[in-house]
């Protein structure tokens, strides 16, 4: 068995692996796709000390750093079931899709999250070419340009307020009859001069020219008419889904499906820790996930010493 078994090989899992290995304990990582969401990122400009890199380069650097140490990497392996230890201090078991069972005295869950897609034509085609999901990451790319935000919940309205300070104009598109964000945020949004709010709008297609987004089409759900907004960027803010489907009913999750953790990354199951986008940690960013992975590994190491 491993002293520390890490599930997920994104920034959180990679950081946990480096911290665990440096304690000289038996460390294993199982990941469906090493690198995680970073693989889908074009430019990364906000990982402090690295002015500019790209996703594949950053993912390769994560893997390279982990491989500097003695860590067993089970890449392209999907975890499907977690069984808590029979007694405190016992072994936690994780079953993989291929039927293999891995065991750890401690387990760190760092399976990340995924942005919910609108699921209309053009979205995949113009992803990273105008269609974006992370305002903190990609907002500055659209400085002085017209953009749209899809989604009128807290994240969409926060994104629109944030972007309004950078871009030329923001069109916020909401499917329902009202914005669902907190009243204070809606009031703030409505006070901004360079923001238009469109409600009852169902996005039907993203369009582009020369491989770059040039706008989106939507249906006015009240009149049934087809309409269009011309933008160079569109931020999709209709939810971030944590990869915890396989853990439902096993440990405590928030109402959004995130793993609930304490300040040391401990979950509701003894010996099982969690880190990064899959948890309740606020603000889903690479640098935050990496720090969180380091913290959970130290939390798990502390647990090992006491059990």
Closest to ligand FAD by CB, 88 or 211: 211
Closest to ligand FAD by CB, 224 or 282: 282
Closest to ligand FAD by CB, 195 or 296: 296
Choosing from 102, 134, 269, 272, the residue that interacts with ligand FAD (CB under 6 A) is: 134
Q: Within 183-242, which residues bind ligand FAD (CB under 6 A)? A: none
CA–CA separation, 17 and 6 (whole Å): 7
Provide the β-strand partners of residue 95.
81, 101
Both tokens of residue 86? 């029979």
Both tokens of residue 253? 């999750």
3-state secondary structure of 265: coil
> Catalytic pick from 138, 234, 277, 292?
138
> Catalytic pick from 3, 40, 68, 137?
137
Give the count of residues interacting with ligand FAD (CB under 6 A). Answer: 39
138 is catalytic: yes
- CA angle at residue 127 from 14 to 277, to 5 degrees? 30
Choosing from 18, 30, 197, 261, the residue that interacts with ligand FAD (CB under 6 A) is: 30
Cα–Cα nearest to 289, from 132, 137, 74: 137
162 is catalytic: no
What does DSSP say about strands 146-150 and 233-236: parallel, antiparallel, or unpaired?
parallel
CB of 43 to ligand FAD, least distance (A): 7
134 is catalytic: yes
Q: Is 13 in the site for ligand FAD (CB under 6 A)?
A: yes
DSSP 260: P
Q: Is 272 in the site for ligand FAD (CB under 6 A)?
A: no
Closest to ligand FAD by CB, 248 or 306: 248
Both tokens of residue 176? 């329902």
Quick one: how far is CA 13 from the chain centroid?
A: 13
Show Cβ contacts of residue 225 under 8 Å, excluding neighbours closer than 6 positions: 219
Residues with catalytic annotation? 134, 137-138
Q: Interface residues with ligand FAD (CB under 6 A)?
A: 7-13, 30-34, 36-38, 40-41, 44, 46, 78-79, 110-113, 115, 133-134, 137, 243, 246, 276-278, 284-287, 289
């Amino acid at each position: 068995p491993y002293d520390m078994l890490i599930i997920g090989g994104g920034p959180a899992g990679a950081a946990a692996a480096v911290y665990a290995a440096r304690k000289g304990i038996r460390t294993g990582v199982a990941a469906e796709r090493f690198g995680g969401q970073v693989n889908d990122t074009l430019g990364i400009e906000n990982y402090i000390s690295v002015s500019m890199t790209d996703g594949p380069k950053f993912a390769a650097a994560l893997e390279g750093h982990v491989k500097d140490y003695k860590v067993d990497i089970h890449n392209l392996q999907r975890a499907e079931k977690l069984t808590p230890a029979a007694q405190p201090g016992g072994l936690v078991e994780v079953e993989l899709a291929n039927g293999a069972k891995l065991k750890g005295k401690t387990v760190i869950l760092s399976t990340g999250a995924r942005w919910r897609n609108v699921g209309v034509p053009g979205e995949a085609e113009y992803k990273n070419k105008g269609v974006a999901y992370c305002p903190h990451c990609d907002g500055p790319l659209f400085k002085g340009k017209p953009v749209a935000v899809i989604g009128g919940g807290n994240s969409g309205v926060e994104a629109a307020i944030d972007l309004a300070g950078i871009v030329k104009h923001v069109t916020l598109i909401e499917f329902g009859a009202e914005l669902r964000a907190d009243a204070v945020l809606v009031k703030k949004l409505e006070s901004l001069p360079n923001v238009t709010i469109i409600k009852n709008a169902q996005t039907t297609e993203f369009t582009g020219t020369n491989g770059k987004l040039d706008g989106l089409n939507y249906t006015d759900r009240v009149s049934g008419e087809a309409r269009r907004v011309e933008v160079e960027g569109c931020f999709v803010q209709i939810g971030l889904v944590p990869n915890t489907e396989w853990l439902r009913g096993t440990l405590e999750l928030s109402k959004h499906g995130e793993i609930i953790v304490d300040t040391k990354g401990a979950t509701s199951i003894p010996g099982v820790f969690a880190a990064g986008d899959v948890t309740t940690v606020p603000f889903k960013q690479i640098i935050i996930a990496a720090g969180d992975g380091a913290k959970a590994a130290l939390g798990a190491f502390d647990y090992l010493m006491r059990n």
